[in-house]
Amino acid sequence: MSGVDFVREADENIPGFRQRLQGLAQTPPIYLLLALLVLISAGLAVQYSAAGGDGRPWFWPHALRALAGCLLMVAVALVDVRFWLRFAYVPLAMMLALLLVLEFVPSDLAVDRWIRVGSYQFQPSEPAKLALVMALARFFHDRRGRGGFLEILVPGILIAVPAFLVWRQPDLGTAAAIVAVGCVTAFLAGLSLRVVVAGTVAAAGAVPLLWWFVLHEYQRVRVRSFLDPESDPLGAGYHLLQSKIAVGSGGAFGRGFLGGSQTQLEFLPEHHTDFAFTVFAEEFGFAGTLALLAIYALIIVWGVVLAQFVRNHFGRVLAASITFIVFLYAFINISMTTGTLPVVGYPLPPISYGGTALLTLFVCMGLLLNVYVHRDSVLGRRNRTLV
């Protein structure tokens, strides 16, 4: 069997389009879809409340985007998995191109994360995480995972380049998330254990270096204000303090829909985007936030469990890594708004307003469904072709 590595393996058990459609329609992953429905509803409620009980300006666009996202999700799910496998490097290449545009096109604002075309804005750093997952899944799908030099170098470059470009924007939170997603994906995909151990040690050693040489001053201020928010209640710590007041005053059962004074009286900053969770927490209380957390956990568990039964490595890695992206959304955003992490500007789709993160989430869910549909397919390795 020594020549196996060089044999182009055959694909097996690939369902045709009709079978894929039947698979999704007849045995739908009902828990995942219900969970998504609840999350979208919560998001719409928050957007309605954040506007003071008004459909405008956020509720209706959010609803339309969610609808478009659902259609996109189904479409992504029904595409032949070999298509995604074959073109797995393309999204990352596109995102890198857009990030480079952002890097080299001068902008008026100090922070620029958005590509603007007309009235539309697109934030390439959001889908970059998913694109990275796809690229890494493809890479390790083709490799044997025995820890060769290439197996360190290529993932390293695939992770470092987008992370660097996003950090340059500067958007430290998303850059860190890209690194985390990349590392977890590589870890799941079969990165050699020696590399994992060495990398963990190196990362721990790099934290002080990061603090002094990588972080911008305003980022250090944010971290400090996170460590001691009361020191400057009207300055850098203001947002966090108001956010904590909103979450805390929600109590066990919340102040009722449209009843949160922190929300309705606009004490909350960015209350329809990055701090949308706070609106939910204030108005629905601990019961609400715990339920929300449980639903995110349900999606994660569902994805990881699915991954155990997938018969192709690409799908496995994709499914598990996508649950990690979802986990990061929930973990970073909620920790940030409750003061256990610095305020880094990380959204919580589909609660937060913001098209790119929302569509990214739906594409993630679409790919998850795609993996579900193709769970019994066996895909051969394509190690000679990079694209």
Partner 1 sequence: MKPVESSRRHDFDRRSLLILGLNGCFLAVVAERLYQLQILEHEQYAVRSDENRVKLQLLVPPRGRIFDRHGVLLAGNRWHHYLHVVPPSGEEGRRAMMLRLEHILRPSATRYTELQEIFGPVSGSRESPHKLVRLHSWEDVTKVASHSVVLPGVSVRRESERHYPAGDVLAHLLGYVSSVTSDDISRNEVLAHLSNYQIGRVGFEQSSEAILRGKIGTLHVEVNAHGKSVRNLREKKALPGKDLRLTVDYRLQRYATSLLAGQTGAAVLLDTVNGEALACCSSPSFDPNLFVTGLDHATWNALSNSPTTPLVDRSVRGRYAPGSTFKVAVALAALEAGHDPNHTVFCGGVREIGGNRFHCWRRQGHGRLALTEAIAQSCDLHFYELALNLGVDRIAAMARRLGLGAATAVDESVNERAGLVPTKAWKKEVYNKSWYQSDTANVGIGQGYMLATPVQLALMTARIASGRELGVRFVQGVVNHGVDERLTGAAPPDFGAARRLADALDIEESSLAFVRNAMSAVVNSPTGTARDAGTERDDFLMAGKTGTVQVRRITAEERKSGVKKNEDLPWKFRDHALFVGFAPVEQPRFAVAVVVEHGGSGSRVAAPIARDLLLEAQRLGVTDGSEGAGQIA
Q: Provide, rounded to whole angstroms, the least separation between the CB of residue 232 and partner 1.
A: 10
What is the spatial distance between Cα 351 and Cα 292, in angstroms, rounded to a whole number? 10
CA–CA distances in Å: residue 251 to residues 6, 55, 135, 285, 351: 62, 26, 43, 5, 20
Q: Provide, rounded to whole angstroms, the least separation between the CB of residue 268 and partner 1.
A: 8
Single residue of 113, 129, 316, 375 touching partner 1 by CB under 8 A: 316
* Residue 272 binds partner 1, judged by CB under 8 A: no
How is residue 310 written in tokens? 């997938």
Q: Which is nearer to partner 1, 122 or 286 (CB)?
A: 286
* Residue 22 binds partner 1, judged by CB under 8 A: no
Stretch that binds partner 1, among 33-41, 159-167, 182-190, 364-372 (CB under 8 A): 182-190
The conformation of residue 228, written as its DSSP 8-state character, comes to S
Tell me the three state secondary structure of residue 333.
helix
Single residue of 3, 234, 384, 385 touching partner 1 by CB under 8 A: 234
According to DSSP, the residues that pair with 115 across neighbouring strands are: 122
Q: Provide, rounded to whole angstroms, the least separation between the CB of residue 98 and partner 1.
A: 29
Q: Provide, rounded to whole angstroms, the least separation between the CB of residue 140 and partner 1.
A: 8
* Residue 262 binds partner 1, judged by CB under 8 A: yes
CA–CA distances in Å: residue 326 to residues 92, 151, 166, 297, 383: 19, 26, 19, 9, 29
Q: Which residue has the tokens 């496998």?
A: 85
Q: List CB contacts of 305: < 8 A, sequence separation 6 or more.
A: none
* Residue 285 binds partner 1, judged by CB under 8 A: yes
HSE (CB half, 13 Å, CA atoms) of 375? Answer: 18
Q: Provide, rounded to whole angstroms, the least separation between the CB of residue 5 and partner 1.
A: 8
* Residue 293 binds partner 1, judged by CB under 8 A: yes
Single residue of 331, 346, 362, 372 touching partner 1 by CB under 8 A: 331
Mind giving me the DSSP string for 298-327? HHHHHHHHHHHH-SSHHHHHHHHHHHHHHH
Single residue of 155, 250, 350, 355 touching partner 1 by CB under 8 A: 250
The conformation of residue 211, written as its DSSP 8-state character, comes to I
Q: Which is nearer to partner 1, 80 or 232 (CB)?
A: 232
Q: Provide, rounded to whole angstroms, the least separation between the CB of residue 100 and partner 1.
A: 31
Does the CA dihedral 85-89-90-92 come out positive or negative? positive
Give the interface with partner 1 as residue ranges (CB under 8 A). Answer: 1, 4, 144-145, 184, 187-190, 234-235, 242, 244-252, 261-262, 264-268, 281, 285-286, 289-290, 293, 296-297, 300-301, 304, 307-308, 313, 316-317, 320, 323-324, 327, 330-331, 334-335, 338-340
